[in-house]
Amino acid sequence: MDFIKDTKKFSLRERINSATHAWRGVGILLKNSHNAWGHIFFSVLAVYLGFILNISDIEWALLVLVIGLVITAEAFNTAIEIDINLTSPEYHPYARDTKDVAAGAVLITVLISIIMALIIFLPKIF
């Protein structure tokens, strides 16, 4: 790729050290997003139900996938909100739209995860 010029040699140590930025980002997400804590609560509840109801390997994979999607969507939403707050501190309709669309993406993933949970858990409960 000509447009990416990385003059440094690959360094495993630097790659490992760069993970500290990612962990810092997770910390920022947990510190600043109350919604993330709600997602984590329901994720723990779903995992608990998975153990109690003895869900299958495929059901576990789907459950982990939707949990990951919801938390990832919340992380992107939080990142977008942080950026919009920086770049557009005063009210602007496009800034509002951007934040609302990002929040809508989280809502869509949450609704998909609820549907998945119902598909997995309802037959085992009833």
- Say which DSSP state 1 is in: -
* Domains of the chain, each with CATH number or no CATH: 34-125 (1.10.287.3610)
Contact 60, 100 (CB under 8 A): no
Name the percent of the chain lying above pLDDT 70: 95
What pLDDT, on the 0 to 100 scale, is given for residue 86?
Answer: 96
φ, ψ for residue 35 (rounded to 5)?
A: -65, -35
The per-residue pLDDT for range 17-26, each reduced to its tens digit, is: 889 999 999 9
Angle at 109 between CA 103 and CA 110, to 5 degrees: 85
Per residue in 116-126, pLDDT (tens digit) is: 999 999 999 99
Q: What is the pTM of this model?
A: 0.85
What is the crossing angle of helices 57-87 and 93-125, to 10°?
A: 170
